[in-house]
A and B are shown apart, each in its own frame.
Chain A
Amino acid sequence: MTEELMLAGSIKNNAAAQEELYNRFSPRMLGVCYRFAKNREDAEDMLQEGFIKVFTQLHQYRNEGALEGWIRRIVVHTCINILKKNKKFSESVDLIHAKGIHIREDMIPSIMQAKQVVECIRILPLGYRTVLNLYAIEGFSHKEIGTLLDIEESTSRSQYTRAKAMLEEILVKKNIIHKARKNNFGNASSR
């Protein structure tokens, strides 16, 4: 089924077309949700809510840019909205210093490839993880993150700096990146 047919069918509420669209994009989108969520179950809840929004808003898609990017944006916003409902989340993104956080060796999963990096991201504290996901991976600016999470832009910036340092530490411990390379990351640009 071509993307045009799939889109047209999905807009007409055709179940087969919708399933095709879901099957095509859900694995990657679940990967996105998983980076934000506490566990797989929560990630699936986010995915479900995200795709319901996708299907109900699909008629608004104007073929400007890739469909995947459009879906991804909706899914990311859904994740953030779900996270924001949790009081713990708003506390954690406001937290400038993540006190008492110590990354132990046994916290780092020994899984391979992309999964390994994602799991390393997921062991970051919730606030750090969210800002890092949005900034480094989803490409939001600190200003956008501030608006999205109802925090100061400077908070987002400092959260990201700490998140990045912590993630680097984890990745070095796991030998995913090496110290020499790690040092090269010192002069990170900020948006």
Chain B
Amino acid sequence: MENNFYRDEFEQMLRETTEEFRMYPSRKVWHSIYNDLHPDRKWPSFAVCLLLLTAILHIGIANNNNISKTTVPLITTTLNASLQNAAPVYHNSSGNNNHAKHNTEDLAQTNRQVISLDSKEVSTDSQEALTSSETETLPATTSGKTLVANDSYDPLMNTATKQVVPNKTGLNPLEKILTVATIPLVSKIANEQKSDREIGAANRTISIVDGNEADVVTTETSAFNGLPVAATDKLGITAVQSERTLSLAEKAWIEDFAFHNLRNPGKWKTNLSFQYYITPSIGYRHLNKNNGFEPPNGSLITTHENDELTQQAAPNFEAGAVMVLGINKKLKVKSGLQFNFTNYNTYAHDLQHPTQTMVPMNDPRSGYLRHQPYNTTYGNVLGSNLSKLNNQTLQLSLPIGLDYRVAGNDKIKWYMGAGIQPSYIMDGNAYLISSDNKNFVQDDAMLRKWNASANLETFVSIKTPSGIDINVGPQLRYQLLSTYTKRYSYTEKLYNVGIKIGVTKKL
């Protein structure tokens, strides 16, 4: 680097400006660094996370239990505990009957509450009087304003509430934000209970604190005596003081932190994609006996059943939609819904008359082989016409898979993938081969209702200018369980090889 670096005003400006620029990395960066530097200490951090998670859950559940149907939640928060003494007034409607004898200023004083992250309940007395009330939650203030609610229920009082709080001028915006960053939930109570009209009343004061001057405070006085709700504007001067003034560095830090650590709602979404695909393929099967049975006496079978039969591969296809979640830059996990059509053909001759034949079955009790008689018109011997038997199934699968990026850049990527597909067999044809391999018998009830397949794939993903990825690559799908139930004495495994074509779009 050279010493005469700042010869150019422009460069100097750039340098000085960017020097001020800071960003706050997410904690996962440090965790990754830590795990890299201390590979032996991964467990404790995991345990701590687990502990924290449990604690948070516990707190969440415990807090939920405090909220009942008959309560009006009044929540205030503060960013700084040191502001407690000068916290904005938050006055809820938890007044009891004693409050009726106080004037409203007293009420304002006695009900002044320290802001805390808390949830309060309106007293049962109030609620009894204010039944069928509806509540409305107001949004948190964001521009240095706050709503200070003074909801007091006074059964005997039907007058306006006056609340005077000294206003401290000269607070800078940050202090105001900090001081009054409250989230008041102001309840809007509309009592419709006729029987309580004579004695029911609800007072509410909403003070808007805004900078150096006191804004008009709207006080609504709701009387439940059948008269229209009276609304009175009153001057309420509300002050919010901070005992602790923040240093410039602290303010800068807070501003900077807030600025650079905005919640990124899209971050989770950026890892999530939606994929449609279709896989035309050629499907075939492999047939095996699942016990050591021999053909019945007198059978002329000398060859393996797969050779004995005239069978042929047939077109299959899959179509599906999955959500793809990027775990990291290399690995993606996906799951969704997939429709499968499997098929292969066997050829049989139509017989002139139904013929009785035996089909090898496993006795469900003993597990031994027994030959079950069936009538059929399909023969594996010379007959009149040659018929094509479509051994097809319609399946609905829940594919769960992983894609691993082997290589690539922004434009084109090469992935290897694998997955498992639990499937429900919605419909299908089952043509069973007889014990002597000379006949076929159709018995769809022999189809297994639930099955599972595994798939291996590799594909190239190409990014289009519109931001959509097009994926193309070969796929092998292999059925893990037999097509047939355990009763049938043959095990059939389907497999198919195809080209998977997919479109992936980021959410």
Residues of A within 8 A of B (CB): 13, 15, 18-19, 22, 26-28, 30-31, 34-35, 40-41, 43-44, 47-48, 51-52, 55-56, 86-88, 113-115, 117-118, 121, 132, 135-141, 144, 164, 167-168, 177, 184-185, 188-189, 191
Minimum CB distance partner of B7 in chain A: A189
Q: Is there a chain A Cβ closer than 8 Å to B69's Cβ? A: no
In the complex, chain B residues 1-50 whose Cβ is within 8 Å of any chain A Cβ: 1-2, 4-5, 7-11, 13-15, 17-26, 28-30, 32-34, 36-38, 41
Q: How far is the CA of A135 from the CA of B26 in the complex (A)?
A: 29
Q: Is the CB of B26 within 8 A of A44?
A: yes
**What is the interface size of chain B, counting residues whose CB is below 8 A from a CB of the partner?**
39
Chain A residues, Cβ within 8 Å of B20? 113-114
Are B409 and A139 in contact (CB-based, < 8 A)? no
Contact, CB under 8 Å: B41 / A15? yes
- B15 closest partner in A (C-beta): A137
Contact between B2 and A136, CB atoms less than 8 A apart: no
Q: How far is the CA of A52 from the CA of B256 in the complex (A)?
A: 25
**In the bound complex, how far is the Cα of B36 from the Cα of A100, in angstroms?**
43
Q: A27-B23, A30-B23, A137-B18 are in contact. Are A22 and B10 (CB under 8 A)?
A: no
Judging by beta carbons under 8 Å apart, are B410 and A88 in contact? yes
- Contact B21–A31 (Cβ < 8 Å): yes
Interface residues of B in 259-294 (CB under 8 A from A): 259-260, 264, 270
Q: Give 22 pairs: A residue, B residue, CB < 8 Å, sorted on A.
A: A13-B37, A15-B38, A18-B33, A19-B34, A26-B30, A27-B22, A35-B18, A44-B29, A47-B29, A48-B32, A113-B17, A114-B17, A114-B20, A117-B14, A117-B18, A118-B17, A132-B14, A136-B15, A137-B11, A167-B14, A184-B9, A191-B4
Determine the chain A residues whose CB is within 8 A of the CB of B28 once the complex forms. 44
- With A18-B37, A40-B23 in contact, is A144–B1 under 8 Å at CB? yes
**Chain B, range 100-131, C-beta contacts under 8 Å to A:** none
A141 to B, closest residue via Cβ: B2
Q: Add 16 more A-B contacts to A31-B21, A115-B21, A168-B10 (CB < 8 A).
A: A15-B38, A18-B34, A27-B23, A27-B24, A30-B22, A34-B21, A44-B28, A51-B29, A51-B33, A52-B36, A114-B18, A118-B21, A137-B11, A137-B15, A185-B8, A185-B9
Cα distance A30–B5 in the bound complex, in angstroms: 23
Q: How far is the CB of A74 from chain B (nearest CB, A)?
A: 13
B9, B14, B32 — which one has the most chain A CB atoms within 10 A of its CB? B14
CA distance A137 to B18 in the complex (A): 8
CA distance in complex: A114, B260 (Å): 12
**Least Cβ distance of B421 to chain A in Å?**
32
> Which residues of chain A have C-beta atoms less than 8 A from B21's C-beta?
28, 31, 34, 114-115, 117-118
A40 to B28 alpha-carbon distance, docked (Å)? 13
B10 x A55 contact (CB < 8 A):
no
A residues in contact with B19, CB < 8 Å: 114
| B interface residues (Cβ-Cβ under 8 A, vs A) | 1-2, 4-5, 7-11, 13-15, 17-26, 28-30, 32-34, 36-38, 41, 256, 259-260, 264, 270, 409-410
Inter-chain contacts of B409 with A (CB < 8 A):
86-88
Contact call A121/B18, Cβ cutoff below 8 A? yes
Q: Please indicate the chain A residues that have their CB under 8 angstroms from the CB of B14 in the complex.
A: 117, 121, 132, 136-137, 167
Contacting pair B18 A31 (CB below 8 A): yes
Residues of the B chain whose Cβ atoms lie less than 8 Å from the Cβ of A34? 21, 23
Name the residue of chain B whose CB is nearest to the CB of A160: B11
| Alpha-carbon gap, A31 to B24, bound state (A) | 8
Most buried by A among B10, B36, B259: B10
- Report chain A residues within 8 Å CB of B2: 139, 141, 191
CA distance A164 to B21 in the complex (A): 19
Which residue from chain A places its CB closest to the CB of B411 in the assembled complex? A88
Residues of A within 8 A of B7 (CB): 189
A167→B21 CA distance, assembly (Å): 17
For A26, list chain B residues within 8 Å (CB): 24-25, 29-30
Q: A140–B22 contact, CB under 8 A?
A: no
User: What 10 pairs between A and B have smallest CB-CB spacing?
Assistant: A27-B22, A114-B21, A185-B10, A189-B7, A30-B23, A31-B21, A136-B11, A114-B20, A139-B1, A117-B17
B253's closest neighbor in chain A, by CB?
A: A27
How long is the Cα–Cα vector from A168 to B24 in the complex, in angstroms?
Answer: 28
CB <8 Å contact, A52 and B41: no
Complex Cα distance, B25 from A28, in Å, reads 10
Which of B13, B259, B264, B410 has most A Cβ within 10 Å? B13
C-alpha spacing A41/B260, complex, angstroms: 13
Judge whether B10 and A44 touch: CB under 8 Å. no
Q: Whole-angstrom distance from the CB of A143 to the nearest CB of chain B?
A: 10
**Contact yes or no, A189 B18, CB < 8 A:** no
CB pair A140–B410 under 8 Å, yes or no, is no
Query: In the complex the two chains form, what is the Cα distance from A167 to B36 in whole Å?
Result: 38
On whether the beta carbons of B33 and A115 are closer than 8 Å, the reply is no
Q: Give chain B nearest CB distance to A191 CB in angstroms.
A: 5
Asked if A118 meets B18 with Cβ closer than 8 Å, knowing A48-B33, A136-B11, A185-B8, the reply is yes
Instruction: Give Cα A89–Cα B29 distance, bound, in whole angstroms.
Output: 24
B22 touching A28, Cβ below 8 Å: yes
Closest to A186 in B: B10
Contact yes or no, A189 B38, CB < 8 A: no
Give complex CA distance A168, B5 in Å. Answer: 19
Which A residues touch B18, using CB under 8 A?
31, 35, 114, 117-118, 121, 137
| Bound-state Cα–Cα, A168 to B25, Å | 29
- Inter-chain CA distance A177–B260, complex, in Å, is 24
Name B257's closest neighbour in chain A (CB-CB). A27
CB distance from A98 to the nearest CB of B (A): 18
